[in-house]
Amino acid sequence: MREGRASRGEVTCSAAAGHVLGGGGESAEGPRQPDRPRMSLAAYCTVCCRRIGSSTSSSKSDLQWKDIRNIAKLTGSCFLGGSLFITYEILALKKAVTLDTQIVEKEKLKSYIYVETISLNPREELGITLQARKELHRALRKMLATPAKIFRNPFDGHFSSADLEDHECTLWLLLKKSQSDDRMVRLQAVKQMTEKSNWQDYQYRTIAQACDMRTTIGLARSRDTDLRFFLPPPHLPKGGLWCFGGSGLPYAESLSEVPSATAEMFCLEALVKHSEVSAHCDKIEANGGLQLLQRIYELHKESPKIQRNIVRIIGNMALHENLHSAIVRSGWVSILAEAMKSPHVIQASHAARALANLDRETVREKYLDGVFVLHPQCRTSQPIKADVLFIHGLLGAAFKTWRQQDSDQSQNEIISEEEEGYTQCWPKTWLATDCPALRIISVEYDTQLSDWKAKCPVENHRKSIAYRSNELLNKLKAAGVGDRPVIWISHSMGGLLVKKMLVEASKNPEMNPLINNTRGIIFYSVPHHGSQLAEYSVNVRYLLFPSVEVKELSKDCPALKELHDDFLTFAQDRNFQVLNFVETLPTRIGSMIKLHVVPVESADLGIGDLIPVEVNHLNICKPQKKDTFLYQRTLKFICDSLASDLKN
């Protein structure tokens, strides 16, 4: 016998039956006798099994059917789910069952124990007759009827007819409430499940098998949820690991010297693009893509980048509600729930996005590819009163742009934020703590310095500020941005995207809520009048082939000047606050070049405060510590701009 989760090939038995046999209730033959001596569960099982084993050669009248019925009741309680009925037929007992009484004492509050599997080969019948099997089935059906009674009764009904302990009734009552027609009742039931800290292992397993899809997703999005609430992913089919329905990658490898890891990454990046198309998501699911991606995910536990791309695909597929049941059935919820607990902020945020898209119970918004909620990532009772948006710049990212200023140690290894005080994403760690009533969103988009590599003919158009701003505006609208007060925070080229989005939104009557709810904008070294990096790149164009993004940052770019004039005209008619930070130190580019990427005169928007900071272009948006001027001034601006909104 062993403690914990039952592995394959183990039989689940009822310790509650042992309580009955020992004098704690009614036996199979009738009421408990007060003067009947108590017998331990181990001793009783040993005696009964020996009687059965010794009765194989006896007459039918000598067989102790009373003992068989009790053993049947002992073995009968293997029901682990409201919708899952499992019947174990025990055809043979090769030898007496012995139990460690010390373990039984430790598990006396549980309703099960585990014993090793015996043979179920019908040719090996050793004394258990058809009548004994019927007794087993009869006892099992009685135990299966118990949760059924609870699910039929109203919430405030009494369970006196149910043969369960009080803590068992609580479990099934919460499961029933989680399937109520009342949304608030369902949410409260899920919350109470996650708050139970004294549950036994089998109770978590019971909920894992009995709860519905909506409850499973709710548990996964609850803070500090226990992973035992989730069934492990089903066994994956063997073969055809690298393509839908075949083994194409080994064949491709035989024709090329490209390593398999590189080929996998190319394939995953292609699938990411396909997953942005609804019809393609259906095809990925129909051809076994969920199982294939899960196999690759498990094989590459040492590669966070591969796992992130896979979860990114799942998050895109979760945008379509018709695929939710397939995603849950394939076991992805347990994987995402575990990833949510990752110390890597990027891994956890990708998983949080996928689960948020699955959670239609509490989330109205949809988070398209590249839109991440940094706070709150779990279900919360804290009302959200405003949004803060973070838009990175050239060669930036949704997370690394907003990390704490790097130290020598943090560049080489993952540091525990609790031990070292270092944060990989200060909006998630610092700002969420100081302003818990905010929803904090960070967006990500691809940028390049050079167009040296071959590209698709339409890529130039897609990289322009006008195209990117329109694309981001649609994604933010799907995420519900504009429904509440908004603060925009941007770095470098990201500030130009913010200006373009607001100018375009002001021309669209449907976007009026976003314009009216904008309370303030923070610009971290935004080149309103162009960047020296662009000038340098254009001068050596034959070496660098500067990208579209870089060309649009040139001082003589007509689109840049037009955007600046349009934004000033727009901003003068609006009552929102503006704060400009600018670097004063040059930035090292490569091993030989140092550039003052955004000089003070270029960062001067013409409205709002302009604050020089003694850092370079990369660190202008990376506070060194939480108590430094850069972060504290940013926090003050946010609180002042949202003062009236946060009070309500």
Q: Are residues 398 and 358 in the same domain?
A: no
Q: What is the pLDDT of residue 162?
A: 47
- 381 falls within a domain: yes
The residues near 39 (Cβ < 8 Å, ≥ 6 apart) are 21, 22, 47
Q: Which of 261-265, 282-286, 599-603 comes out lowest in average pLDDT?
A: 261-265
- 415 falls within a domain: no
Is pLDDT at 83 greater than 70 in this prediction? no
Give whole-number Cα distances, 220 to 190, 234, 322, 378, 426, in Å. 10, 18, 20, 8, 25
Domain that holds residue 266: 260-363
Look up residue 268 and give its amino acid: L
Is pLDDT at 67 greater than 80 in this prediction? no
Residue-wise pLDDT for 313-355, tens only, equals 999 999 999 999 999 999 999 999 999 999 999 999 999 999 9
- What does pTM read for this prediction? 0.74
Q: What is the pLDDT of residue 178?
A: 94
Mean pLDDT score, 583-596: 84
Q: What is the pLDDT of residue 172?
A: 86
Is pLDDT at 532 greater than 90 in this prediction? no
- 71 falls within a domain: no
Q: What is the pLDDT of residue 142?
A: 58
* Position with higher pLDDT, 158 vs 501: 501
Is pLDDT at 38 greater than 90 in this prediction? no
Q: Are residues 352 and 371 in the same domain?
A: no
* Position with higher pLDDT, 100 vs 116: 100
The CA distance from 475 to 456, in Å, is 23
Q: What is the pLDDT of residue 544?
A: 54
Is pLDDT at 363 greater than 60 in this prediction? yes
Q: Are residues 343 and 464 in the same domain?
A: no
* Position with higher pLDDT, 128 vs 146: 146
Q: Are residues 274 and 353 in the same domain?
A: yes
The CA distance from 366 to 354, in Å, is 10
Q: What is the pLDDT of residue 32?
A: 43
- 40 falls within a domain: no
CA dihedral sign of residues 147, 149, 151, 155: negative
209, 229, 249 — which closes off a domain?
Answer: 229
- 576 falls within a domain: yes
Is pLDDT at 71 greater than 70 in this prediction? no
The CA distance from 613 to 268, in Å, is 41
Confidence of residue 121 (pLDDT cuts 50, 70, 90): low
Q: What is the pLDDT of residue 464?
A: 82
Give whole-number Cα distances, 466 to 74, 471, 473, 508, 549, in Å. 71, 9, 11, 15, 11
Look up residue 545 and give its amino acid: F
Selection from 383, 381, 392 nearest residue 468 by Cα: 392
Selection from 144, 114, 162, 81 nearest residue 14 by Cα: 114
Q: Are residues 501 and 435 in the same domain?
A: yes
Q: What is the pLDDT of residue 166?
A: 57
CA dihedral sign of residues 233, 235, 237, 239: positive
Q: What is the pLDDT of residue 395?
A: 85
Q: Are residues 441 and 583 in the same domain?
A: yes
- 88 falls within a domain: no
Is pLDDT at 52 greater than 50 in this prediction? no
Q: Any idea what DSSP says for residue 159?
A: -
Q: Are the CB atoms for 334 and 232 separated by under 8 Å?
A: yes
Q: Count other Cβ atoms within 10 Å, centred on residue 371.
A: 22
Is pLDDT at 148 greater than 90 in this prediction? no
Q: Are residues 376 and 483 in the same domain?
A: yes
328, 344, 363 — which closes off a domain?
Answer: 363
Q: Are residues 487 and 625 in the same domain?
A: yes
Q: Which of 60-64, 81-85, 394-398, 439-443 comes out lowest in average pLDDT?
A: 81-85
Q: What is the pLDDT of residue 538?
A: 52
Between vectors from CA 296 to CA 294 and to CA 300, what angle results, nearest 5°? 120
330, 363, 396 — which closes off a domain?
Answer: 363
The residues near 485 (Cβ < 8 Å, ≥ 6 apart) are 385, 386, 387, 517, 518, 519, 642, 645
Mean pLDDT score, 227-244: 71
Q: What is the pLDDT of residue 267?
A: 85
Write down the mean pLDDT value for the chain. 76
Token couple for 154: 């109203």
* Position with higher pLDDT, 545 vs 261: 261
- 87 falls within a domain: no
Residue-wise pLDDT for 421-438, tens only, equals 789 999 999 999 999 999
Residue-wise pLDDT for 365-390, tens only, equals 999 999 999 999 999 999 999 999 99
Q: Are residues 378 and 493 in the same domain?
A: yes
Q: Are residues 268 and 184 in the same domain?
A: no
Q: Are the CB atoms for 595 and 586 separated by under 8 Å?
A: yes
- 138 falls within a domain: no
Q: What is the pLDDT of residue 137?
A: 61
Confidence of residue 206 (pLDDT cuts 50, 70, 90): confident
Q: What is the pLDDT of residue 552?
A: 75
Q: Are residues 281 and 355 in the same domain?
A: yes
The CA distance from 135 to 138, in Å, is 5
Count of structural domains within the chain? 3
Is pLDDT at 217 greater than 50 in this prediction? yes
Q: Are residues 452 and 601 in the same domain?
A: yes
Token couple for 304: 């966070």
Mean pLDDT score, 618-630: 95
Taking the mean position of all CA atoms in its chain, how far away is CA 410? Answer: 26
Q: What is the pLDDT of residue 102?
A: 55
Return the exposure string of 166-191: e unless at least 16 CB atoms fall within 10 Å of the residue's CB, then b. Answer: eebbebbbbbbbbbeeeeeebbebbe
Is it true that the peptide bond before 237 is cis, omega within 30 degrees of 0? no
Q: Are the CB atoms for 361 and 212 separated by under 8 Å?
A: no
- Highest mean pLDDT among 37-46, 350-359, 531-540 belongs to 350-359
**CATH number (domain holding residue 463):** 3.40.50.1820
Q: Are the CB atoms for 326 and 284 separated by under 8 Å?
A: no
Confidence of residue 234 (pLDDT cuts 50, 70, 90): confident
The residues near 362 (Cβ < 8 Å, ≥ 6 apart) are 187, 218, 221, 379
Confidence of residue 136 (pLDDT cuts 50, 70, 90): low
Could you write out the DSSP letters of every residue in 511-570?
GHHHHHHEEEEEEES--TT--HHHHHHHHTHHHH-B-HHHHTTSTT-HHHHHHHHHHHHH
Token couple for 420: 């070292």
Look up residue 581 and give its amino acid: F
